[in-house]
């Protein structure tokens, strides 16, 4: 498909509604309107960051998957470009351009992604989630456009079927990397009654692939489920990369992004440690190298409110803030929001360390968060509880750090460490919280407070310091363009 597609379709009558919606984030990446999900093929190319993502041009609901496209000079300020790829009528991606990756093949930007189409026979079905029965194939497209606005698809899939004789529970979401003189590709998959699996392929030219073997396999939770992703019999959205002397595998299954660290040898991955990337509303994570070679992570933040509500709102889903990844000495995956987010900091208020309790309480009482847009950094010892409340005292959000648990409203995640270092990013209905670089919870909060938010701290003696910044919007009208 070499013709340039139109820019993101947008009903101008929605503009005033979206611009005045206090639940709609102001400094995260999201489309002008409608539905978005997985980050796809993030790429730094020709001095710009390119983000592609799953997008439905027809409304704020899942369906008719396209690849939307946005560019940024700094990972934070985004401009929407024309839709990069759409389903080709009667093509191998006629029912959707699903998730995938972008790599540089020499000087040529290249996408490999999953296309879906109706199966010719029941034996061709690789995706059966109770609502759809589709055949999944892996497709390739290249671009010679310096702005990556136009892409040309190969007419045939580069991987048309799963390995012979293999009955899989899924066959999608390729991740690609160069290893020596060979390209390698992983696909999310699994086996019914057993568990998820990552299939490994090898190629010399990105176009002709041979199946090697499973990179790694795992067990499901043993529960009956129509959709194999829900019980762990299918692992989707894999990402595999070296970090800190080890390798890391990310998978999305059973409603969470899960990390596994370990050893990669003879093209097999041995898991040594594992955990959860984010315990909240966060899925389909994808890594990207910055211009300086640092590794960052993107994730889709889905809605948790009923579909009827987000359809009526005219938008659904947003991209997480970029997170910088590192590996702890014990093999634990660590992360924090990338320094680029600091570009948005505005007015700053600090509760200084070492002051008397009465003065500390007064400084906290005087704090205000306006327009549901703020960053907070909190250092505390022992158990800690913080509430964000309206001027009239109505609770907006609660963050609790216990001895072994972080809780954000009703969402809980494992936590270790005597002291706690918190980073909190509030943006409309999105609340991203990271503790000690190891525990993250992204919560959705659909409350609209009356007036500004105040901060309440229950155990002030445990608070060492608190910094609060107002955060600037990346556009004047919440349309992120």
pLDDT of 2 = 31
pLDDT at 444 over 50: yes
CA atoms within 13 A on the CB side of 136: 26
Q: What is the pLDDT of residues 224-246, one digit of tens each?
A: 999 999 999 999 999 999 999 99
| Residue 481 in domain | no
Calpha distance 260→23 (Å, rounded): 34
Separation CA 60–CA 439 (nearest Å): 30
268 lies in the same domain as 391: no
- Give me the CATH number covering residue 387: 2.60.120.560
In a domain, 234, yes or no: yes
| The predicted structure's pLDDT at residue 82 | 95
* 5 in a structural domain: no
The model's confidence at residue 20, banded by pLDDT at 50, 70 and 90, is very high
- Residues in CB range of 354: below 8 A, 6 or more apart: none
Alpha-carbon span 315 to 283, nearest angstrom: 18
Does residue 6 lie within any of the structural domains? no
Q: Which of 289, 318, 337 is the last residue of a domain?
A: 337
DSSP labels, 185-203: EEEEEEETTTEEEEEEEEE
More confident call, 355 vs 184 = 184
* DSSP-assigned states of every residue in 281-339: S-EEEEEEE-TTS-EEEEEEE---S-HHHHHHHTEE-EEPPPEEEEE-TTS-EEEEE-G
For range 119-131, the mean pLDDT: 96
323 and 351 both lie in a single domain: no
Tell me: do 23 and 169 sit in the same domain: yes
pLDDT at 11: 63
> Is residue 7 very low, low, confident or very high in pLDDT (cuts 50, 70, 90)?
very low
- pLDDT surpassing 70 at residue 435: yes
386 plus 262 within the same structural domain: no
Residue positions annotated with a catalytic role: 38
459: pLDDT strictly greater than 60: yes
One domain, residues 175 and 277: yes
Residue 223 pLDDT exceeds 90: yes
* Mean local confidence (pLDDT), 44-57: 97
| Residue at 62 is within a domain | yes
Q: Answer whether residue 4 is part of any domain.
A: no
Answer yes or no: is 93 within a domain.
Answer: yes
Give the number of domains in the chain: 2
Note whether 169 and 308 are same-domain residues. yes
DSSP state of 161: S
What is the pTM for the complete model shown?
0.96
Task: Say whether both 359 and 328 belong to one domain.
Answer: no
446 SS3 class = coil
Q: Which of 285, 319, 337 is the last residue of a domain?
A: 337
**Does the residue 32 lie in any domain?**
yes
What pLDDT is attached to residue 352? 83
Give the CATH number of the domain where residue 237 resides.
2.115.10.20
242 and 304 belong to one structural domain: yes
Tokens of 475: 């556009």
Do 288 and 144 sit in the same domain of this protein?
Answer: yes
Q: Specify the pLDDT at position 278.
A: 98
**Residue 8, pLDDT above cutoff 80:** no
Query: For residue 334, what pLDDT is reported?
Result: 97
pLDDT in tens, 389-427: 999 899 999 999 988 999 999 999 999 877 899 999 999
- The pLDDT tens digits for 277-309 are 999 999 999 999 999 999 999 999 999 999 999
| Whether residue 418 is found in the same domain as residue 273 | no
Question: Over pLDDT 90: what percentage of the chain?
Answer: 89
Query: In this predicted structure, what is the pLDDT of residue 338?
Result: 97
d(CA 306, CA 312): 10
C-alpha 70 chain-centroid distance: 15
CA distance 95 to 66: 10
pLDDT higher than 90, residue 480: no
Which range of residues forms the domain containing residue 109? 12-337
Q: By C-alpha distance, which of 328, 354, 329 is closest to 438?
A: 328
pLDDT band at 356 (very low <50, low <70, confident <90, very high): confident
Confidence category of residue 345, pLDDT binned at 50, 70, 90: very high
Question: What's the CA gap between 175 and 384, in Å, rounded?
Answer: 40
What's the chain's average pLDDT? 95
Residue 291 sits in the same domain as residue 322? yes
Per-residue pLDDT, averaged over 92-120, amounts to 98
Indicate whether 264 and 411 sit together in one domain: no
Does 10 score more than 60 pLDDT?
no
**Domain final residue, candidates 305, 337, 369:** 337
> Tokens standing for 157?
């899939």
Residue 4 has pLDDT above 60, yes or no: no
């Amino acid at each position: 498909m070499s013709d340039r597609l139109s820019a993101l379709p947008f009903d101008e009558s929605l503009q005033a509604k979206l611009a005045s919606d206090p639940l709609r984030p102001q400094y995260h990446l999201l489309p002008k309107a409608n539905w978005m999900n997985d980050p796809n093929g993030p790429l730094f190319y020709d001095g710009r960051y390119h983000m592609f993502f799953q997008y439905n041009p027809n409304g704020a609901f899942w369906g008719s998957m396209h690849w939307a496209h946005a560019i940024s000079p700094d990972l934070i300020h985004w401009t929407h470009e024309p839709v990069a790829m759409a389903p080709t009528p009667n093509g191998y991606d006629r029912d959707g351009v699903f998730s995938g990756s972008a790599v540089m093949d020499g000087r040529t930007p290249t996408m490999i992604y999953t296309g879906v189409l109706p199966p010719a026979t029941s034996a061709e079905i690789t995706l059966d989630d109770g609502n759809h029965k589709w055949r999944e194939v892996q497709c390739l497209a290249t671009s010679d456009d310096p702005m990556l606005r136009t892409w040309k698809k190969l007419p045939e899939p580069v991987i048309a079927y799963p390995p012979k004789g293999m009955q899989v529970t899924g066959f999608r979401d390729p991740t690609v990397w160069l290893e020596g003189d060979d390209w390698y590709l992983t696909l999310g998959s699994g086996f019914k009654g057993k568990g998820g699996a990552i299939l490994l392929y090898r190629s010399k030219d990105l176009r002709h692939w041979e199946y090697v073997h499973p990179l790694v396999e795992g067990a499901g939770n043993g529960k009956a489920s129509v959709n194999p992703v829900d019980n762990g019999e299918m692992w989707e959205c894999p990402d595999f990369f070296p970090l800190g002397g080890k390798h890391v595998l990310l998978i999305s299954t059973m409603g969470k992004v899960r990390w596994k660290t370990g050893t990669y040898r003879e093209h097999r991955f041995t898991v040594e440690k594992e955990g959860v990337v984010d315990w909240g509303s966060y899925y389909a994570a994808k890594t990207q190298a910055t211009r300086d070679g640092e590794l960052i992570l993107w994730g889709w933040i889905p809605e948790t409110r009923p579909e009827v509500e987000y359809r009526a709102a005219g938008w659904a889903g947003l991209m997480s803030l970029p997170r910088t990844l590192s590996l702890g000495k014990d093999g634990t995956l660590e992360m924090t929001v990338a320094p680029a987010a600091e570009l948005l900091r505005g007015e700053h208020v600090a509760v200084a360390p070492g002051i008397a309790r009465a003065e500390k309480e007064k400084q906290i009482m005087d704090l205000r968060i306006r327009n549901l847009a703020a960053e907070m950094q909190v250092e505390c010892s022992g158990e800690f509880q913080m509430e964000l409340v309206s001027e009239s005292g109505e609770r907006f959000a609660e963050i609790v750090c216990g001895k072994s648990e972080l809780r954000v409203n009703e969402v809980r995640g494992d936590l270790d460490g005597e002291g706690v270092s918190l980073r909190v990013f509030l943006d409309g209905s999105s609340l991203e919280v990271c503790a000690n670089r190891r525990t993250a919870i992204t919560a959705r909060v659909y409350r609209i407070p009356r007036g500004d938010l105040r901060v309440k701290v229950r155990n002030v003696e445990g608070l060492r310091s608190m910094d609060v910044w107002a955060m600037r919007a990346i556009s004047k009208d919440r349309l992120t363009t």
